[in-house]
A and B are shown apart, each in its own frame.
Chain A
């Protein structure tokens, strides 16, 4: 559905132009990392890199949300190996763990990867410990489960957390509070389901249901 607001269309249009200098900035910083040896300078560089990564994450999120709201994201559904998705997540979030799986789903591999990344990043940002990925067959669907050992979420907030810019009381103030919104919107776009099972103090399990392939 096309948004009536010009803002999402504007952001969607400039998404490419925002990414280009960010791409250069992050590569410059990584190249500088090999060339700076002074301890104080390295500390400053490390903070600059974290700030740039944070900025990149926020811009990425805003642009992605804008494109979703503008109806600009079109899934390219194919047969996707969940093991390859898990491997990609483990490479990007080494603190994660994953059970081996031979299951396949009908999904868009890049969008599914984005959903998983958003959920894992959310768990890490909120003290979820080492997120654990697994997958189970459930009839014609596959349940992809990401468990964390974080503070847990009250039942009243299970739907609220998928609302944009919502941060729960006591939650970390890093980020914009749109990661789970993006995950839910992408899941909906691909006709997948996403929900959370959690009780306060008991960690959380985010479950994505996708058609088995």
Chain B
């Protein structure tokens, strides 16, 4: 998967990417399908966009949320569980400005997962989303000092939270 020659080390990829800026460099490397994820995150962090760690095990919700977050101007690392995120983000998780997590994950709950990730990303603010009306998710989020929203969460509310966190984190 990560063999040399087809990824960033490919002269063609690097040549094309350098002519088009960092976004295109990241895109080119991603297109090459032969790079460690952390390399791409490193490249994308150079453009100063906030890094968001997204924990979501529902594929459609994750994809739609990534579109919204990237449109807003964030770099997003998505995983279905903590291991996925850690594997993809590596040490760059420390730079994460925000963590957005679903509460009901196939491996445990999102609040515990976000608490684990917060140890690696100490300045990250956390938003917990849940489609459940029971108080469990809300209480757990509140107890951990995290923001809570119910699904379906309107884009407007998500963006409003992102803007507030950007002001707080700086």
B64 within 8 Å of A by Cβ? yes
Structural contact, B68 and A24, CB atoms closer than 8 A: no
- Provide a sorted-by-A list of 24 A–B residue pairs whose CB atoms are within 8 angstroms: A15-B132, A19-B152, A20-B60, A20-B61, A20-B131, A23-B151, A23-B152, A23-B153, A24-B58, A24-B60, A24-B64, A27-B61, A27-B65, A28-B60, A30-B68, A56-B152, A63-B133, A72-B133, A74-B134, A74-B135, A76-B135, A91-B157, A91-B160, A92-B157
B166 within 8 A of A: no
Q: Does B170 contact A (CB under 8 A)?
A: no
Most chain B CB atoms below 10 A, which of A19, A64, A74? A19
Question: What is the interface size of chain A, counting residues whose CB is below 8 A from a CB of the partner?
Answer: 30
Q: Are B68 and A27 in contact (CB under 8 A)?
A: yes
Chain B neighbourhood of A20, CB < 8 A: 58, 60-61, 131, 151
Give A contacts to B, CB under 8 Å.
12, 15-28, 30-31, 34, 56, 60, 63-64, 67, 72-74, 76, 91-92, 110
Query: What residue in chain B is nearest A56 (Cβ atoms)?
Result: B152
Besides A27-B152, A27-B155, 14 new A-B residue pairs in contact (Cβ under 8 A), listed by A number:
A16-B132, A19-B131, A19-B152, A22-B151, A24-B60, A24-B61, A27-B68, A28-B60, A28-B63, A28-B67, A31-B67, A34-B71, A60-B152, A72-B133
B19 within 8 A of A: no
- Cβ of B24 within 8 Å of any chain A Cβ, yes or no, is no
A76 and B61: CB pair below 8 A? no
